[in-house]
Amino acid sequence: MSDELRWRACLVRLPDEIFFELIRNYVGEVKTPFNKHDLIARLESFLRSPRVHDRIVSLIDSADAKVLSAIALLHEPTYDTLFEFFEHQIAPIDLHHRVLNLEERLVIYSDPESRRIRFTPFLSETIAGVVRTENIVQLVPFNTTTTRSPWLTDAFLLGLFSYLSDAPDPFKTAGGVKKRVADEMRAVFPGIETRFGAATRLDAILSALTRLALLRPDAGRTTVSIDDWVAYGELTPYLRRVNLYAACLATSPADITDIAGLLSHLDAAIPPDVAFDRDTFDRIVRLVRINTGRRSALTAEYFQILIDLHVIIDEQDRYWWNTLAFRDPSFAAPEPHESPLIVHPNLEVTVKPWIEFIEGLRVCHSMRIRVFDVYARYELDKASLFRALDDGVTVEEVKARFEALAPVPQNFIFMLDAWADEHGSVQILDGIAVVVDEDRRHIIEHYGPFQRHVRRALAPGVYLMARADEPHWRAELAAAGISPVPETRRFAGDHVTHDTARSWRTSDVQPVTFLKPGPGAYTPDDTAAVRARIIESADLESLTDDQRLEFTRRVESRVILFPEQVAAAVARTEKVEAKGLDYIGKVRLIEQVLRGRGTALEIVERSATGAPKKHLIRPESLDKKATELVLVGTTIPDGGAIRIRVGKIGVVRKVRTGLFHE
Amino acid sequence: MTEAPDRVTPLIVQSDGSLLLDVHDPGYEIARNDISPFAELEKSPEHMHTYRMSPLSLWNAASAGFNPDFVLETLMRYSRFPVPENVGFSVRETMSRFGRVILTEADEPGYLILEVADEAIRAEISGTRSVAKLIEPYGDNGFLVRLYDRGTIKQELVKIGWPVKDEAPLLDGDAFTVQLRRTTRSGGAFTVRDYQSEAARAFHGNGLPGSGFGTVVLPCGAGKTIVGMAVMEKAQTNTLILTTNVAAVHQWMDELADKTEIDPDDIGEYTGDAKNIKPITIATYQILVWRADRESDFPHFSLFRKRKWGLIIYDEVHLLPAPVFRVTAEIQAIRRLGLTATLVREDGRADDVFSLVGPKRYDVPWKELEKKGWIAEAYCHEIRVDLPADKKIPYAVADRREKFRIASENPRKIEITRQLVANHPEDHILVIGQYLDQLAEIAGDLDVPIITGKTPNAERESIYRDFRAGATRIIVVSKVANFAIDLPDASVAIQVSGTFGSRQEEAQRLGRILRPKKRNSTFYSIVSRYTTEEQFAANRQKFLTEQGYKYHIELWNTE
């Protein structure tokens, strides 16, 4: 259905009382017999006039422009959506009056079924001149020379992977990070104790990795699986970054995908060369959330977290969006083929920041991180190699991985072979048996402190051990020179299975680019002067005082555009307000609204402190309690239950819930 | 600052203040020169050298007149990536601390004045017990410090983060003419090499307060003695030289006699054998720290006061015994030069060397001098050999210390040594080890002389002399030969055992074969396979691998 047809249909369905009042106001007396379609055609003709367009625009003030801009940026929002957007910005009751007024002024209308708010079709082009992004989002052109690279990078993740693979239980049973782990991580990852939201980077990252299922706490044992990390590595660099940030912002794993989408949209929407304030950013987030349907709960300190992630930069009391946070070219290879690794003869390995993530995972899998920095320092040691071999990687694969990326000194390869040869020479099998190869059997065969714990020698080099003594005989194995003492190998049946659901977004979103900065916020005419001129030019001689008052009220509310609309004021006026001591008047108005449709009550309650408190109420009943009447209803728009003694009400005002719907 | 060609970015600035310098980058040399005033060389492996901006190096830069802007501009100029934000903050904060506490001359003899204008710093200093006991209030913004606490107060204040700008002048000492010869007494041409002159200049500085004390780090075999002599020539004063052993004392005496115009009668030996104090006196650390019993004073510390020394040279300063630290703290008015190749102290007192003797003034990567031919090219091998069957069970049941000994004394090492010696028929060979029985067995097996701690000095000298003269091609030595022994023709070293994981010992042993000569040098370290010795060997090799040396590891098949 075209916009014009839809508008006409909405008008036809208006209750007669409202319909005729509109017609009378804008196109004059309605003569019988009448045809509603003809009347609508007359109104349409009125609205098509350039003179009318000019006047309507000249009466649009900045508060109108703000609401109209929101309607445009939210793409025909429903009433509820509009209220949601302006939550904490405009009091619901004021917003209600504003929307109703714009409907009465025929600037907007709404479809009673979908409750979507639209611009009146004949005016939409004219209104487009008023609608500006800047009316609700104050983006200030901003040039900065500051660059701030993100710290939560792929290279950082590789370091975490290497470290966490070596420290399988970073968490305390009661929650939080173990002190030993926290101390070590502070030494390995400088700056990891920096504040991050309400916590530290350390806590936040470990929580985020857990939400991403890259760390899997399970019955007091946290596991890090190379398969999980490789699967994560298969995302594009952009998606890895977005998912990681989302995991820092999410309150539950289920929300990560949604928040990752939200971040992508924000990244696409916010121009790089503008600054904004905190309120503006909140509005942008609301806009994106509403427009994209991404409504997952964000952690309360999300703004601070975005700053801490370097996604938002805080500079000179202003903020700007750091596009580098998502795609940072600063750490690219200086030469296209420069190796991302340096393998040193002292078994240290320098890992450069441009290493491809999965390649990095595969080499870091067999190394221990020593210090993370711009160039990270790793070290090959026996335990780290054993870890990779335990995960089913062969030493040939490990060598190939290094050799594919950098020249490798002979002693490095020698050590890999020597340690691989040693790997598996001592095994501990669940049951529990210690099995020692012939090469190393002599090391423990005659070592009394270990032999004391042997229950029975099952075969040469195969010892049955007591599970209860495990810590003791493990210590003796270490003392005998078996280092590292291997983990106990469990049989397939005992294998811990994980919920493999991974909570990350695996595809790019199609960004909605809806923030188009224009020439700045709309600067309205002096609407008061326009209204004064209308009143001055009108011939009010024939009107009674009440009619003159009504005319002035209508001019003030901008439903009178021209002086010749003076006849509109002749219409019957009804009492819509009761206040002060007019108890009966207040009761009557409440009763009227209870009986009628399409109206609500604006109540000004006298609070205990004396400060007036406004409510917009949809009344449900007027109950008698002892000698007092109590108004029972629900508040608009949130639907909360409310009970107020009529005696406590200062003002009762009958208002429409909407022109086009109840 | 040197002018850099276009945009060269050899530097990676790390957030911990370390600087990685890409040696393959065209801007390597220029960047190295420009960062050297404020960063110390830490490691120089093959591809990437590591420098560090420590508080001490930044304070030294501040003392030499460099400001934080210079440091940060230099970093940004050469940095391949954005300089981490915290580095800028940390450089400014650290350097701003220099010059807030100043040590100046006092009118009162035997005292110095510590000037501290800032009230908060004064309060911090007064409130620090280890400092408070060394000072007494003086005037509105200062303290009096006893002259002999000059070193200690500086050391203690550095510990609490307030470096002292020492503006009190150094003593000149009694004048003594030192002039280097162009032709040695033995008839050879003699010139001081560029890097040796540069090291001497770096030590001497501008001659104003703040210069005239420090440490020069040069690889073994690079001629640190010559640097010492070049410094003596600049100082023209009575000089006390402290070194590790009698053989080294004699080497110094020979070198001074050979390469300077100093009359040999003006050179005195102060050791267990002789106690001659002359304008140039050379003593051992051992004699200085000798005392009758643990409760007695050190009688030979009086040597420091027996002449008006204008310069003290600490040879192999990394070996400075703890009591000498104390006396060094008391003689801060005298110029002090530390010489070393390996400022690695397993006791962690390397920082004390810097604060008492003086900061590192000059350092050069080993491989750079090797490239220029100033030290020999050396190949390092680690040879792994199984324990014989009859040693496996004793090894298995031994405690940790005993395990290491069994592994070190693996009898198969003798057989390998014999084979290696046979493989080098033209070379001068040192067999170096830790355990005397093992060394005696090897010496017997090879039928060559042996030097240990028990060998009388005269006999040692004689064996060294024969070795230098070519009369003896192979000698077996214990750790007495780890340091300061100059054996120019030695080209092969076979290390059969060592002091656990000592990095410094490994480097010094390699150093014995680094004098440049016509043939390359080869260093072998024999290690028992599947024993704790493997891990100790890996640790021993760290210093050298950080200097760019590569170890080729091979298994020795004794079957």
Nearest chain A Cα distance for residue B541, angstroms = 7
Which residues in B lie closer than 8 A to residue A191 (C-beta atoms)?
15, 86
Contact B553 A481 (CB under 8 A): no
List pLDDT tens digits, range A516-572.
666 777 888 888 999 999 988 888 888 888 888 888 888 998 989 998 887 766 666
Q: What is the predicted pLDDT for the residue at A494? A: 45
Cβ-Cβ contacts under 8 Å for B39 (sequence gap 6 or more): B19, B51, B52, B53, B57
Distance CA(B500)–CA(B531), nearest Å, equals 12
- CA of B549: which chain A residue's CA is closest? A345
* DSSP state string for A381-404: -HHHHHHHHHTT--HHHHHHHHHH
A375/B contact by beta carbon, under 8 A: yes
Choose among A334, A375, A411: nearest Cβ to B552.
A411
Identity of residue A132: R
Whether A661 and A112 have beta carbons less than 8 Å apart is answered as yes
- Cα→Cα distances A447→A308, A433, A453, A458, A460, Å: 55, 17, 11, 17, 15
B551/A contact by beta carbon, under 8 A: yes
Taken as a whole, chain B contains a residue count of 559
Give yes or no for residue A603 having a pLDDT over 60: yes
Cβ-Cβ contacts under 8 Å for A73 (sequence gap 6 or more): A133, A136, A287, A291, A514, A515
Q: What is the predicted pLDDT for the residue at A572? A: 60
A439/B contact by beta carbon, under 8 A: yes
Q: What is the predicted pLDDT for the residue at A496? A: 46
> Which pLDDT band holds residue A134 (cuts at 50, 70, 90)?
confident
Closest CA to B42 of B343, B353, B456: B343
Contact A371 B16 (CB under 8 A): yes
Which residues in B lie closer than 8 A to residue A347 (C-beta atoms)?
538
Which residues in A lie closer than 8 A to residue B9 (C-beta atoms)?
334
List pLDDT tens digits, range A469-495.
888 888 888 888 787 888 776 654 444
* DSSP state string for A46-69: HHH-HHHHHHHHHT--HHHHHHHH
> Which pLDDT band holds residue A512 (cuts at 50, 70, 90)?
low
Which residues in A lie closer than 8 A to residue B530 (C-beta atoms)?
422, 439-440, 443
Using DSSP, state whether A183 is helix, strand or coil. Answer: helix
Give yes or no for residue A511 having a pLDDT over 60: no
Q: pLDDT: is B168 or B190 the higher one? A: B190
Q: What is the predicted pLDDT for the residue at B332? A: 83
Contact B542 A346 (CB under 8 A): yes
The order of strands in the sheet holding B101-105 is B135-138, B142-146, B111-116, B101-105, B164-166
Nearest chain A Cα distance for residue B352, angstroms = 24
> Which pLDDT band holds residue A327 (cuts at 50, 70, 90)?
confident
Distance CA(A415)–CA(A379), nearest Å, equals 12
Mean pLDDT over A363-389 rounds to 94
Mean pLDDT over A571-580 rounds to 75
Contact B82 A147 (CB under 8 A): yes
A346/B contact by beta carbon, under 8 A: yes
Among A121-135, A151-165, B534-548, which is the least confidently predicted range?
A: A121-135
A146/B contact by beta carbon, under 8 A: no
A441/B contact by beta carbon, under 8 A: no
Choose among A375, A442, A480: nearest Cβ to B14.
A375
Q: Residue A572, exposed/middle/buried by CB under 10 A (0-12, 13-18, 19+)?
A: exposed
Contact A191 B545 (CB under 8 A): no
- CA of A478: which chain B residue's CA is closest? B400
Local structure of residue A250 (DSSP, 8 states): B
List pLDDT tens digits, range B463-487.
999 999 999 999 999 998 887 678 8
Establish whether the linkage from the previous residue to A637 is cis, with ω within 30° of 0.
yes
Give yes or no for residue A133 having a pLDDT over 70: yes
- The residue behind tokens 């792994």 is B384
List pLDDT tens digits, range B255-270.
999 999 999 999 999 9
List pLDDT tens digits, range B289-328.
999 898 888 999 999 888 999 999 999 998 888 888 878 8
A191/B contact by beta carbon, under 8 A: yes
A446/B contact by beta carbon, under 8 A: yes
List pLDDT tens digits, range A246-274.
999 988 888 898 899 889 888 888 888 88
Choose among A330, A411, A440: nearest Cβ to B550.
A411
Nearest chain A Cα distance for residue B401, angstroms = 12
Which residues in A lie closer than 8 A to residue B382 (C-beta atoms)?
411
Residue A422's region, left for phi above 0, alpha for psi from -120 to 50, else beta, is: alpha
Angle between helices B436-446 and B412-423 (to 10 degrees): 40
Contact A481 B86 (CB under 8 A): no
> Which pLDDT band holds residue A639 (cuts at 50, 70, 90)?
confident
A176/B contact by beta carbon, under 8 A: no
Contact A373 B549 (CB under 8 A): no
Whether A124 and A130 have beta carbons less than 8 Å apart is answered as no
Q: What is the predicted pLDDT for the residue at B135? A: 95
Distance CA(A598)–CA(A662), nearest Å, equals 4
Which residues in A lie closer than 8 A to residue B80 (C-beta atoms)?
334
Query: How many of the other CB atoms lie within 10 Å of CB of A345?
Result: 23
Whole-prediction pTM value? 0.81
Mutate to test the interface with B, among A346, A352, A405, A425 (most CBs of B within 10 A): A346
> Which pLDDT band holds residue A436 (cuts at 50, 70, 90)?
confident
Give yes or no for residue B223 having a pLDDT over 80: yes
Give yes or no for residue B344 having a pLDDT over 80: no
Closest CA to B270 of B289, B287, B248, B293: B287
Closest CA to A282 of A105, A103, A87: A87
Q: What is the predicted pLDDT for the residue at A495? A: 43
Angle between helices A154-166 and A179-188 (to 10 degrees): 140
State how beta strands A221-223 and A216-218 pair: antiparallel
Query: How many of the other CB atoms lie within 10 Å of CB of A254?
Result: 12
Cβ-Cβ contacts under 8 Å for B161 (sequence gap 6 or more): B55, B97
Query: How many of the other CB atoms lie within 10 Å of CB of B35?
Result: 25
Distance CA(B102)–CA(B95), nearest Å, equals 14
Using DSSP, state whether B416 is helix, strand or coil. Answer: helix
Cβ-Cβ contacts under 8 Å for A199 (sequence gap 6 or more): A207
Query: How many of the other CB atoms lie within 10 Å of CB of A660?
Result: 21
E strand map for B81-141: 101-105, 111-116, 135-138
Angle between helices A62-73 and A79-86 (to 10 degrees): 120
Contact A446 B393 (CB under 8 A): yes
Mean pLDDT over B335-351 rounds to 81
Distance CA(A584)–CA(A582), nearest Å, equals 6
Interface of A with B in 406-435 (CB under 8 A): 409-411, 414-415, 422
List pLDDT tens digits, range B496-512.
999 999 998 999 999 99
List pLDDT tens digits, range A385-397.
998 998 889 999 9
Interface of A with B in 478-507 (CB under 8 A): 479-481
Contact B550 A446 (CB under 8 A): no
Contact A344 B13 (CB under 8 A): no
Contact B397 A353 (CB under 8 A): no
Mean pLDDT over A619-648 rounds to 88
Mean pLDDT of chain B: 91
Q: Could you tell me how many CB contacts below 8 A there are between chain A and chain B?
A: 85
CA dihedral in degrees (A473, A474, A477, A479; nearest 10)? -100
Closest CA to A234 of A146, A359, A115, A132: A359
